[in-house]
């Protein structure tokens, strides 16, 4: 037995007055939704199964193929795209807008990463987008919708009145940098918009939102929306309870979810009943031939990216030494640089970088330029910058772990920022910290500190399990790339001026 979703719309007196009261008729329609979300990488990606997936050219091929069928199609973008990627670290997402404009979603909602470069850049990029923008829960300081963004709309598609509304992630202020923009709670905002669309006579209510999975399911169970298209969680998700469907399409267009709605419309007098049932198609883009127009645009951006790799971000005023014996056993200027970047860019009290994550194994004499290629060589793993809340006692335990293999060199050796640690490597492992300060004050074992680390340590790797007790402010796979943040910090600082300053001092 097929689950059928039904919605009955009763027209107001004005509409009823122009409709023959005894007229009854029925017809069928078909409507297709295509969803992408969380697409950061412009190029396709080689996957562990040996296949190549994702990227804008393959996404474009999927969307164009659906539109070429001639039926009504609504292509929705669930947000998160201006950042993070290596190219976005250079042009602040400009290339992403150009590529997306070649495909033109019918609806777009901003994710938290749209704000990684600040409010001014977000507004600039939004103004460059040549497609409809929605964010009912996002307002300017004056309480009005952000310019260019709608709260809701009703469009006619395939003979149906489709009610559209959308929401930005309501956790954006703690996850990114939206300035003074305000974000109302997502579910409450979407409930109000769905109710308004129903009052306005929408046959189907469609919500596109960048939201946590719990918020998606909460809204779905209200039965106020028919279709919920989401981003943020990075998984392939399909949920249909017979009344409301909710979908998310993985990330980076590795998979693209297509929903075909078969619709029956029955109308008698001023009553119109809509019955529909969905069919789901998950398109593995490993099977898709890239669209040539968009592929050519991507190739152009890749050439530009390559040319930017050797452009200096700044000059180092001190010698930087990333050789294994240095970064895995002693305070090092390059470790201090990376840890400082993590703390500043993460708006944290302190930062820890494991020496094993610094990999180029070379010496940069004082006066040398430091390029993007250098940063990528030093930080080759694609790690993300994660901020966790940690008690002082856990922070001390983390540093003890980092010192536990001395005098042997080890990848867990900690490079720190915002802290000063005196330690005795002759004492037993676990009790080597002699004194410890954070922000110039003695460590308080009961205080909660914001600590910037990489996602490798956030998983408890290299023995840093003391930092896994608290949930990161932003999920690791949704956090900014560490290499990008170091590049931005270097550019802002104009180079490297901090050398070895005694922040990790052996007694």
Over the chain (507 residues), the average pLDDT of each successive run of 10 is: 57 39 70 97 92 97 98 97 89 96 98 92 98 98 97 95 97 89 98 97 97 97 97 94 96 97 88 93 98 98 94 96 95 98 97 96 96 94 92 98 96 98 97 98 97 94 92 81 94 94 96
Q: How far is CA 169 from CA 188, 211, 352, 429, in A?
A: 13, 5, 29, 44
**Residue 33 CB coordination number (10 Å):** 25
Q: Are residues 345 and 315 in the same domain?
A: yes
| Structural domain total, the chain | 2
Q: What are phi and psi of 335, to 5 degrees?
A: -65, -40
pLDDT tens per residue, range 146-170: 999 999 999 999 889 999 999 999 9
Query: Residue 180 is encoded by which pair of tokens?
Result: 């003074």
Q: Are residues 379 and 291 in the same domain?
A: no
Q: Are residues 98 and 15 in the same domain?
A: yes
**Residue 231 CB coordination number (10 Å):** 30
* pLDDT value for 16: 37
Beta bridge partners of 213: none
Q: Are residues 301 and 349 in the same domain?
A: no
In a domain, 270, yes or no: no
Question: In this structure, are residues 82 and 93 in contact, taking their beta carbons and an 8 Å threshold?
Answer: yes
User: What is the domain-level CATH number for residue 297?
Assistant: 3.60.21.10
In a domain, 257, yes or no: no
Three-state DSSP class for 422? strand
User: What is the domain-level CATH number for residue 350?
Assistant: 3.90.780.10
Residue 158 CA to residue 431 CA, distance in Å, equals: 71
* pLDDT value for 154: 98
Q: Are residues 69 and 31 in the same domain?
A: yes
* pLDDT value for 19: 41
Beta bridge partners of 193: none
In a domain, 127, yes or no: yes
Q: Which residues contact 252 (CB under 8 A, 6 or more apart)?
A: 38, 39, 40, 41, 45, 53, 54, 55
Q: Are residues 283 and 399 in the same domain?
A: no
Q: Are residues 149 and 83 in the same domain?
A: yes
Residue 353 CA to residue 356 CA, distance in Å, equals: 9
In a domain, 363, yes or no: yes
Query: Residue 301 is encoded by which pair of tokens?
Result: 């951006």
Question: In this structure, are residues 352 and 397 in contact, taking their beta carbons and an 8 Å threshold?
Answer: no
Q: What are phi and psi of 276, to 5 degrees?
A: -145, 160
* pLDDT value for 130: 98
In a domain, 396, yes or no: yes
Q: Are residues 293 and 330 in the same domain?
A: no
* pLDDT value for 4: 60
Residue 213 CA to residue 228 CA, distance in Å, equals: 11
Question: In this structure, are residues 57 and 294 in contact, taking their beta carbons and an 8 Å threshold?
Answer: yes
In a domain, 285, yes or no: yes
Question: In this structure, are residues 203 and 160 in contact, taking their beta carbons and an 8 Å threshold?
Answer: yes
Question: In this structure, are residues 404 and 412 in contact, taking their beta carbons and an 8 Å threshold?
Answer: yes
- SS percent in the chain: helix, strand, coil, step 5: 30, 30, 40
Got the DSSP string for 73-127? Answer: EEEEE-S--SSSSTTHHHHTTHHHHHHHHTT--SEE---GGGGTT-HHHHHHHHH
Q: Are residues 122 and 236 in the same domain?
A: yes
In a domain, 258, yes or no: no
| Rg from Cα positions in the chain | 26
What is the CA angle 197-198-203, rounded to 5?
95
Strand (E) or helix (H) holding 482: helix 482-493
Q: Are residues 90 and 177 in the same domain?
A: yes
DSSP 93: T
What is the value of pTM for the model shown? Answer: 0.83
In a domain, 272, yes or no: no
Q: Are residues 291 and 366 in the same domain?
A: no
Closest CA to 358 of 387, 329, 386: 329
String of b and e for 89-118 (b: at least 16 CB within 10 Å)? bbbbbbbbbbbbebbbbbbbbbbbbbbbbe
Q: Which residues contact 442 (CB under 8 A, 6 or more apart)?
A: 435, 436
User: What residues make up the domain containing 377?
Assistant: 310-506
* pLDDT value for 268: 82
Q: Are residues 474 and 348 in the same domain?
A: yes
| CB-side neighbour CA atoms (13 Å) of 363 | 5
DSSP 290: P
* pLDDT value for 10: 52
């Amino acid at each position: 037995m097929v689950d059928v979703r039904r919605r009955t719309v009763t027209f107001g007196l004005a509409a009823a007055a122009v409709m023959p009261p005894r007229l009854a008729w029925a017809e069928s329609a078909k409507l297709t939704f295509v969803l992408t979300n969380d697409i950061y990488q412009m190029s396709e990606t080689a996957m562990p199964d040996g296949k190549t997936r994702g990227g804008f050219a393959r996404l474009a091929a999927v969307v164009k193929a659906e539109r070429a069928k001639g039926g009504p199609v609504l292509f929705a973008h669930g947000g998160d795209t201006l950042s993070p990627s290596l190219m976005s670290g250079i042009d602040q997402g400009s290339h992403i807008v150009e590529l997306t404009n070649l495909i033109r979603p019918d609806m777009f909602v901003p994710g938290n990463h749209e704000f990684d470069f600040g409010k001014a850049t977000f507004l600039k990029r939004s103004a460059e987008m040549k497609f409809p923008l929605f964010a009912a829960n996002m307002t300017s300081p004056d309480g009005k919708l952000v310019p260019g963004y709608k709260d809701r709309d009703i469009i006619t598609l395939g003979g149906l009145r489709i009610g559209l509304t959308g929401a930005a992630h309501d956790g954006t202020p703690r996850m990114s940098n939206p300035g003074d923009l305000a974000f109302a709670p997502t579910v409450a905002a979407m409930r109000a918009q769905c109710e308004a669309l129903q009052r306005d006579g929408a046959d189907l209510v469609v919500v596109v939102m960048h939201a946590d999975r719990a918020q998606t399911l909460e809204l779905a169970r209200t039965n106020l929306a028919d279709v919920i298209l989401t981003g943020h969680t990075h998984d392939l998700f399909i949920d249909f309870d017979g009344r409301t469907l909710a979908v998310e399409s993985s990330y980076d267009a590795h998979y693209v979810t297509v929903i075909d709605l078969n619709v029956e419309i029955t109308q008698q007098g001023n009553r119109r009943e809509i019955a529909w049932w969905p069919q789901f198609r998950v398109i593995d883009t490993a099977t898709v031939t890239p669209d040539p127009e968009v592929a050519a645009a991507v190739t152009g951006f890749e050439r530009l990216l390559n040319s930017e790799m050797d452009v200096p971000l700044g000059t180092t005023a001190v010698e930087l030494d990333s050789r294994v014996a240095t970064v895995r056993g002693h305070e090092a200027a390059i470790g201090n640089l990376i840890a400082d970047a993590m703390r500043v860019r993460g708006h944290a009290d302190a930062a820890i970088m494991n020496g094993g994550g610094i990999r180029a194994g070379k010496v940069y004499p004082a006066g040398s330029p430091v390029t993007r290629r250098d940063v990528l060589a030093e930080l080759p793993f694609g790690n993300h910058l994660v901020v966790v809340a940690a008690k002082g006692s856990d922070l001390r335990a983390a540093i003890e772990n980092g010192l536990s293999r001395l005098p042997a060199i080890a990848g867990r050796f900690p490079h720190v920022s915002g802290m000063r640690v005196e330690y005795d490597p002759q004492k037993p492992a676990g009790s080597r910290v002699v004194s410890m300060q954070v922000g110039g004050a003695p460590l308080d074992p009961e205080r909660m500190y914001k600590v910037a680390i990489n996602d490798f340590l956030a998983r408890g790797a290299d023995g840093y399990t003391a930092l896994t007790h608290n949930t990161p402010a932003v999920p690791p796979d949704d956090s900014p790339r560490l290499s990008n943040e170091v590049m931005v910090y270097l550019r802002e600082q104009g180079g490297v001026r901090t050398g070895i300053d005694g922040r990790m001092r052996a007694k």
